[in-house]
Chain A
């Protein structure tokens, strides 16, 4: 009951602080621009002649991944900067004093905040992602092979990042936790790209950079799974060996073991956060 109260309070904060409105405006602009771009894609004159609808669909599947990456970035930054102030900020300002002096367990308060942020982040990732997929469907006629899986993985990526942001928020200042978590998200993505280049060059040492980073922070691994679910299966064949190095294509769907690891990762980080928060002097 307390967890639900805190979750609703967290959502209410996102709405009242106009985070929700800002994200909505940003997303609508991005969706409108992408819709305009996609309508121009069919019948586009290129150096090699007019693009056929088949080619346009291939490009559309690549562009879809690119735009969804942009959206996952918005969701990541949005939730990280919401999660940052939520623990550290409330402790710093004194808001936590009155709340935690009530008959509540700190882990329950943490669970409530996590659930609220999860609803916000996942809701955004799924709705904005679905809108984008529908726009591509309407403008170019492309429908991804597994849109539900893709959206679920996009949401899972947001959950990983917000859980990390909450952990950081329980140990460092609000601003630092937001910046560090977004920084780590970016670093993991770059490490994934570097790993892809290593794989295409057959350099196992460089390839391992991507593998290790995907284990340490599963955001990039989940993102690759999402891309694989959104992209045209023919795209990999058409791109040939270079596809591995291309940051907006993924050559394999995720294994159950990796998904299991992501779930364990979330549980471990959540547990660490609960432990740190429970021991912290307010």
Chain B
């Protein structure tokens, strides 16, 4: 009898241990109305563990409202949210979340280090002081740790916001327009930070106007328009076919035939464009270059060509508009 119970308990534990971890963010049917304006309408999506999801859309599409509903800052009229496997109504659901708001303002009478210490206390966690300082180093504020936040420039305050979002060792980081006040160098820093979070298995929800930024770091994208999900999917799914452009010299008949075998070929002077098949497994281009070199072709340049996310986004939004 006792053995039976132990076996049952053991198998239940195995079952739970075998379950995939719940998504970092799961939301379903989110709806929010401000007066007569329907700001968010039936928005559902998930952010998987370790995934970087981009939230895109024009101004007023409801991106910030969605983020605020995920964090319990705005009460949805309808819909449900789970963060890191907990119902978002439970404040503890936010224990593993780091957040950089679009409107980043921190207590101006505190120093940068004090703001971080405050957030560590509010997150009910213990982070050694040296590690807290490390967050400031990460965002380039190492030498301003003791300075009053009130004296910081906007860009520095946004960097501090990034440190605040990262200081509590979050499992999920929500960044709302994280580069709005940053110069190109700062934007590159944020991109590197997001990539390093991804490398550490931290999930990131990124809302950004800068499509290039989203394209470089995101695994999947959700496009919002007028409060609704207009499109979603991985970048490959959204962007579809890929092309490669080659600048070649000394292309003879056999080489041209080899180019044609790789995909649909078009030519403009010394530039050859090959449209790759959808089921490309990533070796088509290197194999092609190896064979071309073997055939005595001089390869000056090989450039991937993709329909940019910007073009795709504009296409989706304009199509939406036309449909209305």
- Genuine A/B complex: yes
Chain A residues engaging chain B, CB cutoff 8 angstroms: 1-2, 5, 9, 12-13, 16-17, 93-95, 97-105, 279, 281-282
B242 part of interface (Cβ distance < 8 Å): no
CA distance A103 to B84 in the complex (A): 13
Of B75, B94, B118, B164, the residue contacting A103 (CB under 8 A) is B94
B123 touches A103 (CB 8 A): yes
CA distance A100 to B105 in the complex (A): 13
A282 touches B74 (CB 8 A): yes
Of all chain A residues, the one with the shortest Cβ separation from B67 is: A101
B105 touches A5 (CB 8 A): no
B124 touches A1 (CB 8 A): yes
**How far does the Cβ of B20 sit from chain A's closest Cβ, in whole Å?**
24
Q: A16-B110, A93-B103, A103-B93 are in contact. List 20 more A-B contacts (CB 8 A).
A: A5-B118, A5-B121, A5-B122, A12-B109, A13-B109, A94-B105, A95-B107, A98-B101, A98-B105, A98-B119, A100-B71, A101-B72, A101-B99, A101-B101, A103-B94, A104-B91, A105-B91, A281-B68, A282-B68, A282-B74
Of A16, A95, A100, A101, the residue contacting B106 (CB under 8 A) is A95
Chain B residues engaging chain A, CB cutoff 8 angstroms: 68, 71-75, 91-95, 97, 99, 101, 103-107, 109-110, 118-119, 121-124, 161, 164
CA distance A12 to B121 in the complex (A): 15
Of B71, B73, B122, B161, the residue contacting A2 (CB under 8 A) is B122
B92 touches A103 (CB 8 A): yes
CA distance A11 to B122 in the complex (A): 17
17 contacts between A and B (CB under 8 A): A2-B122, A5-B118, A5-B122, A9-B107, A16-B109, A95-B106, A97-B99, A97-B105, A98-B104, A98-B161, A100-B73, A101-B99, A102-B123, A104-B91, A281-B73, A281-B74, A281-B75
* With A98-B119, A98-B161, A103-B95 as contacts: A17 and B107 at CB distance below 8 Å: no
CA distance A94 to B71 in the complex (A): 14
Inter-chain contacts of A281 with B (CB < 8 A): 68, 73-75
- If over half of B's interface residues share one DSSP class (helix, strand or loop), that class is named, otherwise mixed; here it is loop
Of all chain A residues, the one with the shortest Cβ separation from B103 is: A94
Inter-chain contacts of B95 with A (CB < 8 A): 103
A101 touches B73 (CB 8 A): yes
Of all chain B residues, the one with the shortest Cβ separation from A109 is: B122
**How far does the Cβ of B157 sit from chain A's closest Cβ, in whole Å?**
10
**How far does the Cβ of B25 sit from chain A's closest Cβ, in whole Å?**
14
* With A5-B118, A279-B75, A281-B74 as contacts: A102 and B109 at CB distance below 8 Å: no
Of all chain B residues, the one with the shortest Cβ separation from A15 is: B109
Inter-chain contacts of A2 with B (CB < 8 A): 121-122, 124
Of B75, B97, B107, B121, the residue contacting A101 (CB under 8 A) is B97
**How far does the Cβ of A22 sit from chain B's closest Cβ, in whole Å?**
14
Of A12, A17, A97, A100, the residue contacting B103 (CB under 8 A) is A97
B105 touches A93 (CB 8 A): yes
CA distance A2 to B119 in the complex (A): 11
Inter-chain contacts of A104 with B (CB < 8 A): 91, 122
Inter-chain contacts of A12 with B (CB < 8 A): 109-110
**How far does the Cβ of B167 sit from chain A's closest Cβ, in whole Å?**
11
Inter-chain contacts of A103 with B (CB < 8 A): 91-95, 122-124
* With A102-B94, A103-B92 as contacts: A94 and B104 at CB distance below 8 Å: yes
Inter-chain contacts of A93 with B (CB < 8 A): 103, 105
CA distance A102 to B71 in the complex (A): 9
Inter-chain contacts of B101 with A (CB < 8 A): 94, 97-98, 101
Most central of A17, A102, A281, A282 by chain B CB within 10 Å: A102
**How far does the Cβ of A134 sit from chain B's closest Cβ, in whole Å?**
33
Inter-chain contacts of A100 with B (CB < 8 A): 71-73
B122 touches A17 (CB 8 A): no
Inter-chain contacts of B118 with A (CB < 8 A): 5, 9
Inter-chain contacts of B121 with A (CB < 8 A): 1-2, 5
CA distance A103 to B93 in the complex (A): 7
B164 touches A98 (CB 8 A): yes
CA distance A63 to B290 in the complex (A): 101
CA distance A2 to B124 in the complex (A): 8
Most central of A100, A105, A279 by chain B CB within 10 Å: A100
**How far does the Cβ of A86 sit from chain B's closest Cβ, in whole Å?**
12
CA distance A12 to B107 in the complex (A): 11
**How far does the Cβ of A9 sit from chain B's closest Cβ, in whole Å?**
7
CA distance A62 to B14 in the complex (A): 80
Of all chain A residues, the one with the shortest Cβ separation from B104 is: A94
